[in-house]
Amino acid sequence: MKYENQLAKFGGGTLVDTNTAAEYLGLSNQWLRMARMSNPPWTGPAFVKISKRAVRYKVEDLDQFVAQRRVPSSLEPAEAGAA
């Protein structure tokens, strides 16, 4: 896969383009573009606007975007203090 080559090439702090970010997330690049242009509330991952037309995503931000949307299984133990 393309993104795996980029990650291996650049290591930590890697910036990837929209197409690579979409492949990494399993989404369409059109969804990422539309989410970037939507009015608040912003629903996509954080991005870096390098210039008027150049947008990149930090791989760490993509991972955080996924982690924040994780829905735990009903089989997982409840967190302490949860009602």
> For 11-54, how does the pLDDT look when each residue is reduced to its tens digit (9 = 90+)?
667 899 999 999 999 999 999 999 988 877 678 899 999 999 89
Q: Which residues contact 17 (CB under 8 A, 6 or more apart)?
A: 55, 56, 57
Is the residue at 53 inside a domain?
Answer: yes
Is the residue at 22 inside a domain?
Answer: yes
As given in the structure block, the two tokens for residue 83 are 């009602």
Q: Domain tally for the chain?
A: 1
Is the residue at 73 inside a domain?
Answer: no
Is the residue at 61 inside a domain?
Answer: yes
For 61-82, write each residue's pLDDT tens digit. Answer: 999 999 998 888 777 676 655 5
Integer Cα distance of 1 and 18 in angstroms: 15
Is the residue at 14 inside a domain?
Answer: yes
Q: Which domain holds residue 38?
A: 2-68
